[in-house]
Amino acid sequence: MTSPTLERALPERLAPGDRDRLKRQVPAGVTLLAFIAMLVVCGAIQPVIFSATGLNLVLSSIVPLVIASLAQMVMMSIGDIDLGIGSFVGLVTAVSATTLSGTPLIGVLILLALIAGYGVLGALVHLRRVPALIATLGASFVWYGLALFVLPTPGGTAPDWLLAFAAWTPSAFPAPVLPILVITAAIWAVLQLTPVGARVRALGSNAAVLERSGRSALRTRIITYVIVGVLAVLAGLSLSSQIGGGDPTSANDYTLISVAAVILGGGSFFGGRAVAWGSMVGAVTLGLVSVLLSLLNLSSNVQPAVEGGIVIAALAGRLLVGKVLR
């Protein structure tokens, strides 16, 4: 009862691989368009932005947000969400402005201990089945308390090497592009090209697959949380280099902006998706909002509202394009 022509024709009709691939790229693509549009508007108002120094100025304040968004992206790729990342980044700036510049060795040890703390958090979430949302929310208060203990009022001085990095302005290219691209590429490579990355994404997509293949979901979750911790420390150091010292509350708004950046970049609340490049573009786009507002001579107080508008518009655009493609 088989017809050979049908057997061959059917799967091809059902699996238009290129179309599917395109559909996957759409979310980040829409965000990229928004990013380019904003850049063009900014450039039209203030052409100096397109020079290396101009881009340097614009992008340098965005670097910590990009790194924090990549951390959030890793977290969301396993279906968890990190509500403590803002406080954690603030804590890292406090450590950086005090211990790290005073007694570097102890500072490094403290940072490593904080990363280990993330691993413990992951184990807790997995073993006790505490929702990540709750665990990281609780952790955010712990991070904040520790930060206040280390540095009660904003101040201190970042280590010299961090300050030197912040002051580095090569003429050939805008310096902030380097950490942004390198870290994004590294995270992309880890998640997409390595077996560990496949396990992380599988944990978010269908944890049963991992368990049934004899691999430890616990270990995978801990690895994921440690990666998040490492990235959050890098984000904190980068922020500390920007503000020249430490401030426990300096990164509070990173928590929700990083989630928005991941969603803008094509991530999902349900896990399984890990779009490093998209999250990077999402973070840069959101970071550009304040630049655009200041160029338009609008009060920076409306910044959150504009950011929210962009998130909603980009998501609506993404749904629209998705519908057209289907």
Partner 1 sequence: MSTTTTAPDLVVQVRHASKTYGPTRALSAIDLDIRAGDIVGVVGHNGAGKSTLMRLLAGIEPTDSGTVSVAGRSKSARGGFPGARMAYQETNLANELSVGDNAYLSAVGSPRGARWRKHAEERILSRLDEMFPGHGIRAATWVGDLSLAQRQMVEIARATLDDDLRLLILDEPTESLTGGATEALYDAVRRMSAAGVAVILISHRIREVLEVAHRVVVLRDGAVASEHAAAGLTEDDVLRAMGGSDVEIVLPVTGAVSIDVPIVAEVPARDARTGTARPIQARRGEVVGLAGIAGQGQEVILAALWNARERARRRVKKAYVPGDRQRSGILPLWNVADNLNITAMRSLGRWGLRNTAAEREVVDRWVHLLNVRGGVEAQMAGLSGGNQQKVIVARAFASDAELVLLDDPFRGVDVHTKNDLYRLIRDEAARGRTVVWYSSENAEMRHCDRVYVVRAGRIAAELRGQEINEERIIAESFVIADDEEVAE
DSSP assignment letter at 246? B
**Cβ atoms within 10 Å of 259's Cβ, excluding its own:** 23
**H or E stretch including 321?**
helix 303-325
Tokens of 140: 């955010």
Tell me how far, at minimum, the Cβ of 262 lies from partner 1, in Å: 14
Closest separation in Å from C-beta 109 to partner 1: 31
Q: How far is the CB of 215 from partner 1 (least distance, A)?
A: 7
Under DSSP, the state recorded for 300 is: G
Nearer to partner 1, 33 or 130 (CB): 130
Tell me whether residue 123 or residue 148 sits nearer to partner 1 (CB atom): 123
What is the full DSSP assignment across 120-167?
Answer: HHHHHHHHS---HHHHHHHHHHHHHHHHHHH-SSSB----HHHHHHHH
Q: Which residue number, 2 or 301, has a Cβ lying nearer to partner 1?
A: 2
Nearer to partner 1, 14 or 167 (CB): 14
Joined tokens for residue 256: 């929700």
Task: Between 111 and 222, name the residue whose CB sits nearer to partner 1.
Answer: 222
Residues 6+ positions from 48 with CB-CB distance below 8 Å: 54
Please state the closest distance from residue 200 (CB atom) to partner 1, in A.
10
Question: For residue 259, which of 58, 24, 80, 37 has the smallest C-alpha distance?
Answer: 80
Is 230 within 8 Å of 115 (Cβ atoms)? Answer: yes
Least distance in angstroms from the C-beta of 282 to partner 1? 19
Question: Judged by CB, which is closer to partner 1: 221, or 273?
Answer: 273
Please give the structure tokens belonging to residue 115. Answer: 């990363």
Q: Which residues bind partner 1 (CB under 8 A)?
A: 1-15, 17, 20, 24, 193-195, 198-199, 201-202, 204-206, 208-216, 271-273
CB of 191 to partner 1, least distance (A): 11
